[in-house]
Every structure is written in C-alpha cells, then in structure tokens.
Amino acid sequence: MNFSYSKIIQLQKKLNVDLIGVVKSEHLKKDENIFNDWLKNNHYANMNWMKNNFEKRTNPQLLFPITKSVIVIGMNYFNDIQQSRSDNLLVSKYVTKVDYHKFLKQKLYLLLKEMKNIDSSIKGKICVDTSPILEKAWGIKAGLGWRGKNSLLISSEYGSWIFLGILLVNVKFNKYSKQKKNLCVDCNLCVESCPTKAILEDNKIDAKKCISYLTVENNDEELSEDLSLNNWIYGCDVCQGVCPYNQKNAKESTHLEFSSKDELHNKSKKYWENISKLKYRKIKKNTAMKRRKFLFILRNINHNL
C-alpha cells in the first residue's frame, strides 16, 4: 500500500517537527563516489570508523532490507547566546541542555508509532548520527535543504542550525518531496572565514584541519603547538556564524531541550582553567558533551591558554 504524503505532513505538525521530507529509497551512487573520494584523500583524519560499513552508508536496503522509503526530519536547535571570543573559551551551540541524539530518537519513535497506528503492517528503523547512513545526503534528496560549501545542510527556513534524523520504512508514498536548488553558488563567506582553511573545494572538509573535529573527535593526548583552536574547546560555529542564511533565517528554537546551558556557554578562560573534574562531570550531564572525559576537555582548555 501507499502511505499518504499529506498524512505525514499532518504528523509533522502534531509531533512539532520543524522539517520533514520523504524520498524513495535507492542506492545513492553519486554520493557514494563523493564519499569514497573523500576517504581516498585521507580527509577523514583518524576517524577510521568512517570506513566501516561503507556500502550501507548509501544503500538503505543493506541497512534495513525491507526499506522502500526514507523519511528525514530536521529539528531547529538555534539559540541566540552571544559568546565573546577574546575573554571566553567557546562551546558550540549544538551542545544544548539535552543530548540531541536522545531527543531525535524520541521524535522518530513517536513518528513511527503514529504511522503504525494508521497501518499496523508498517515497520521501520531509526537512524540518528551513529548509524552508518549519510544523513545530509538523504536530507538534501528529501528536500530539507542543499549542501553548503562547508558541507552542512542549509535550510531556507532555519539555515544550518538543524539536527537530522532518519526513519527507514517499508512502505511507499503516493507523493515524494522535491529536492531544493543550491543557493550557495556565488557565496564564499564560510570558506573565507574558516580559521584553519579546512573547507575544501566541492563542499568537502579536511577533518585534520577542522576545529570541530580537533576538539570533539581527535583523541591525541596533545595537539600540535602551532595549531590554533581560536578559543574553541568543543566544536566550532565560525562557518555557520557568517552564513547569510543563518543570519537571515535563524529562529530561536521552540524546543526547550535545545536551550543553551548556562554552565557551558559564555564562560571565561579563568572559569575553564579552574574547573574541577567533579564540576565538569556535573555540567556535561545529559548533553552531547557527555561522552568526553575530563582529561580530553582539559587538553582543549590548556591548548587555548
């Protein structure tokens, strides 16, 4: 049977989902070639896990064999906290009061539950971040936005301040979402603003240079002395901060779970320099920062002092 596209839009409103798109499941061969080229050029740094389950990342049938359609949701997480770069150490906006992984999984679970209430034969698989699937590629195909030069998905409604989640389902739809036109052609602000020149041609990132990678994923005990993190200790929002679509279309998130956490944002160098292990464990609780231990964050702090 075909599931009604208008019904999924109704469920979007009922569940307070900011963006939703539906696309027919297929093997994304073009994106597979782009991803393979990125790997071959060693732009993944030491994220060796990116090479695992390579085929599954662009072919949902290998991840969930009965997949017929891919549903992509986008949740706006923008908060208007202002951070002074000169006096403070900085944490990315995506580190909010509640870990977005947990929040998106709950939304997708509720969406699947509502769909099953309409048709009990529906089965689905929820994918959020850690699943081997290219969320941005599917988000673009499902019409949520286009790929910016900084590799992020940019939405005309919310800019790039969005979290993506995917639901693979075993039903077809009577209508599918249309892909959006790329509107970043003549703009290079994100490329020019990157402090470490990590943004490459063809909308790719060299992770070895990316401050977000260096402060979140890089597990080296020490970072190179000649490397500047520009006061960032977890993530980096520089390229998003200069994006015209983020400046023009940014809307404060209506989801209280995505509010900024006072103990993490807009804090001085002295605050971070004197933070204790106990205090750090307390303030990172329930956030996307929770997986990183004290010694890891201490390395980032000391590198900026």
197-209: per-residue pLDDT in tens? 999 988 999 999 9
Q: Which domain holds residue 189?
A: 1-305
On the question of pLDDT at 268 being above 90, the answer is yes
Q: Residue 252's pLDDT is what? A: 95
Q: Residue 203's pLDDT is what? A: 94
Q: Residue 230's pLDDT is what? A: 94
State both tokens at 298: 């201490």
Per 3-state DSSP, what percentage of the chain is helix, strand, and coil (rounded to 5)?
A: 35, 15, 50
Specify the 3-state DSSP secondary structure of 228: coil
Give the contacts of 197 (CB within 8 A, at least 6 positions apart): 209
- Categorize the per-residue pLDDT at 2 as very low, low, confident or very high, splitting at 50, 70 and 90: confident
Q: What is the mean pLDDT of residues 96-116?
A: 97
Alpha-helix residue ranges (DSSP H) falling in the chain: 5-14, 29-40, 60-63, 100-118, 135-141, 189-193, 211-216, 238-241, 244-249, 269-273, 277-284, 294-304
Q: Residue 86's pLDDT is what? A: 76
On the question of pLDDT at 145 being above 80, the answer is yes
Cβ atoms of 265 and 71 closer than 8 Å: no
- Categorize the per-residue pLDDT at 130 as very low, low, confident or very high, splitting at 50, 70 and 90: confident
pTM for the model stands at 0.96
Look up residue 249 and give its amino acid.
N
Give the pLDDT confidence of 42-98 residue by residue, as tens digits.
999 999 989 999 999 999 999 999 999 999 999 999 998 877 767 899 999 999 999
Give the pLDDT confidence of 67-82 residue by residue, as tens digits.
999 999 999 999 988 7
On the question of pLDDT at 185 being above 80, the answer is yes
Q: Residue 249's pLDDT is what? A: 86
Between 107 and 81, the more confident residue is 107
On the question of pLDDT at 219 being above 80, the answer is yes
Give the pLDDT confidence of 9-43 residue by residue, as tens digits.
999 999 999 999 999 999 999 999 999 999 999 99
Q: Residue 82's pLDDT is what? A: 77
Mean pLDDT across the chain: 95
Q: Residue 79's pLDDT is what? A: 92
How many domains, the chain?
Answer: 1
Active site residues: 129
